[in-house]
Amino acid sequence: MSIALRPAWRLLVLLALLPGGLPGAQPAGKKPNIILIVSDDQGFDVAAFGSKQYVTPHLDRLAAEGLRGTNFYVTASVCTPSRSGLITGRYPQRNGTYEMIRNDMVNYGHRYTKSEYAMSPEMTLGLDVREKTFGDVLRTAGYTNAVFGKWDMGQARRFLPLQRGFDVFYGHGNNGIDYYTHERYGAPSMFRGNELTTAEKGTYATDIFGREAVNFIRANRERPFFVYLPFNAPHGASNLEKDSLQVPESYLKKYYPDRDPKDRETKYAGMISAMDEHIGRIMATLRELQLDRNTLVIFFADNGRTGAQYDGVKLRGGKGSVFEGGLRVPLIAWWPGVIPAGQTSHAFLTALELLPTFIAISGAPDPGVKLDGYNMLPVLQGREKSPRTEMFWDWPSVYQAARVGNFKWVAYWPRGNPKNLPPKEEFYDVVADPGETRNLFKEKPADVARVKARFAAWQAEMEAAEPRGPFRNY
């Protein structure tokens, strides 16, 4: 499915007709800043969505002053393909990065030498260099762009952010690192720019990424900027410890003084609150510099987490699953004077909508590639219904799924399917039953056939696309 972009000039005319005109407090004609914050493996674990065991005052304020989205999907329930869809605005099956870029030896506790790691998939694979990222696109509109955190699109120099439309990068290019040593199973993995660095070894990674975002905003206050802030929190650390959840004790004492600091759930909550505190500093900086009314801030998680729920609705499955708990994540969108405050939207939206939205509000020229989303700002404003009616997922030998209207068909196999078994198939009305508790597969054969036919048509379109990336199944 491809939905035509709304021309940038049309959006500007529409905004000019709103009460108060274009977002104010900035010089006339100044393009809006964009901050995109993505957490890692968090799901709906935010107090603003009903998860009261987590202390997230700054995300809660962001949601209260902006919009909560409860029906927002990512392009995969695991890190790499979820991010490839977001970064390119294209289905992972179209851009070619629809699997994890990951070394399998880490499953057995292997520690890599420098030479071993240099020859491994994590250092040699990445997002196809022909793909255009949102950094590439926003650069054409005059934006200064930065990435702080988890890039996960490859670590060879040609794949790193400075070669993909970004001006500043401080973070890691792989799936995960130790929060203090900044290593990936023994291999140093923190980059500043194009070079590996150990200069801040021992400093908590979340503190680094939050600090750098604030410094970048201050340094670029006079020009339009794009900050992509993909925290690796609250993902577990990539090391050999059995308990891989890492957080400074100071955050636990501050936010969870009455809970056991050695308990895994307490550590996990502390990691979320540490991230939230840095989000608060970013928002305070925008207000101090009077950039708040000319900045779009969006937050969501890259995939779900087992046990997640929103507003009392428990979602089935979690990371790596085909169910709503893996694919549906919280959305917060904030832009004072443009997105009405205090709203909750149940509109069908996806991460594929981000890049077309950025194009529309930045005035960037058409990137000249087929995008799979649309400008969702009118939906966030409550002025239009979402034109999104379909979404598809395909993780080879793991799962397939299609949502068409209210219905969702899923098929899934044991990981790797060693016995070559047929998939298990289920069918749900995820509007009436977001928890996927009532399987309608046998009750609605005509609807099952219709949704599977749409999936087959989408799959044929993806197969016909130009072969991309390292995971193509020839």
Q: Are 54 and 310 in contact (CB under 8 A)?
A: no
The pLDDT, as a whole number, for residue 2 is: 42
* β-bridge partners, 225: 144
The pLDDT, as a whole number, for residue 239 is: 81
- In the structure, what pLDDT confidence band is assigned to residue 418 with cuts at 50, 70 and 90? confident
Give the integer Cα–Cα distance in Å for 23 and 12. 10
Q: Are 209 and 278 in contact (CB under 8 A)?
A: yes
Residues 65-119 have pLDDT tens digits of: 999 999 999 999 999 999 999 999 999 999 999 999 988 887 777 888 888 888 8
Structure-token match 């962001």, residue found: 62
* Domain pair 8-388 / 399-464, same fold: no
Residues 203-220 have pLDDT tens digits of: 999 999 999 999 999 999
Residues 272-291 have pLDDT tens digits of: 999 999 999 999 999 999 99
Of 102 and 302, more confident = 302
Is the pLDDT at 368 greater than 90? The verdict is yes
Q: Which CATH superfamily is domain 8-388 in?
A: Alkaline Phosphatase, subunit A (3.40.720.10)
Q: Are 146 and 133 in contact (CB under 8 A)?
A: no
Tokens standing for residue 258? 């009455």
When the pLDDT of each residue in the chain is averaged and rounded to a whole number, the result is 91
* β-bridge partners, 409: 402, 427
The pLDDT, as a whole number, for residue 6 is: 40
**Furthest CA-CA distance within the chain:** 64
In this structure, is the dihedral angle defined by the CA atoms of residues 146, 33, 47 and 345, taken in order, positive or negative? negative
Is the pLDDT at 17 greater than 60? The verdict is no
Displacement of CA 386 from its chain's centroid (Å): 20
Q: How far is CA 382 from CA 32, 34, 345, 379, in A?
A: 20, 20, 8, 5
* β-bridge partners, 412: 399, 424
Q: Are 345 and 71 in contact (CB under 8 A)?
A: yes
Give the integer Cα–Cα distance in Å for 291 and 25. 7
- In the structure, what pLDDT confidence band is assigned to residue 473 with cuts at 50, 70 and 90? low
Q: What is the mean pLDDT of residues 180-187?
A: 92
Is the pLDDT at 474 greater than 70? The verdict is no
Q: What percent of the chain has pLDDT over 70?
A: 92
Give the integer Cα–Cα distance in Å for 400 and 31. 40
Is the pLDDT at 160 greater than 70? The verdict is yes
Give the integer Cα–Cα distance in Å for 80 and 181. 22
The pLDDT, as a whole number, for residue 174 is: 94
Is the pLDDT at 13 greater than 50? The verdict is no
Of 123 and 34, more confident = 34
- 399-464, CATH topology level: Arylsulfatase, C-terminal domain (3.30.1120)
The pLDDT, as a whole number, for residue 314 is: 94
Rg for the chain, CA atoms, rounded: 21
Closest CA to 205 of 291, 275, 120: 275
Sketch the domain layout of the chain as residue ranges.
8-388, 399-464
- In the structure, what pLDDT confidence band is assigned to residue 25 with cuts at 50, 70 and 90? very low
Q: Are 358 and 34 in contact (CB under 8 A)?
A: yes
Residues 255-266 have pLDDT tens digits of: 999 999 999 999
Residues in contact with 179: Cβ distance below 8 Å, sequence separation at least 6, in sequence order? 204, 205, 206, 232, 237, 246, 247
Is the pLDDT at 52 greater than 50? The verdict is yes
Is the pLDDT at 18 greater than 70? The verdict is no
CB pairs under 8 A, 24+ apart, for 407-416?
407/440, 407/444, 407/447, 407/451, 408/324, 408/436, 408/451, 409/448, 409/451, 409/452, 409/455, 410/322, 410/323, 411/322, 412/321, 412/322
Count of CB atoms within 10 A of residue 459's CB? 15
The pLDDT, as a whole number, for residue 467 is: 74
Q: For the residues of 155-223, what is the DSSP string, one character each?
A: -SGGGSGGGTT-SEEEEESSS---TTT-EETTEE--EETTEE--TTTTS-HHHHHHHHHHHHHHHTTTS
Q: How far is CA 140 from CA 165, 169, 213, 281, 363, in A?
A: 9, 18, 22, 29, 9
Of 135 and 15, more confident = 135
The pLDDT, as a whole number, for residue 28 is: 52
Q: Are 176 and 237 in contact (CB under 8 A)?
A: yes
Residues 287-298 have pLDDT tens digits of: 999 999 999 999
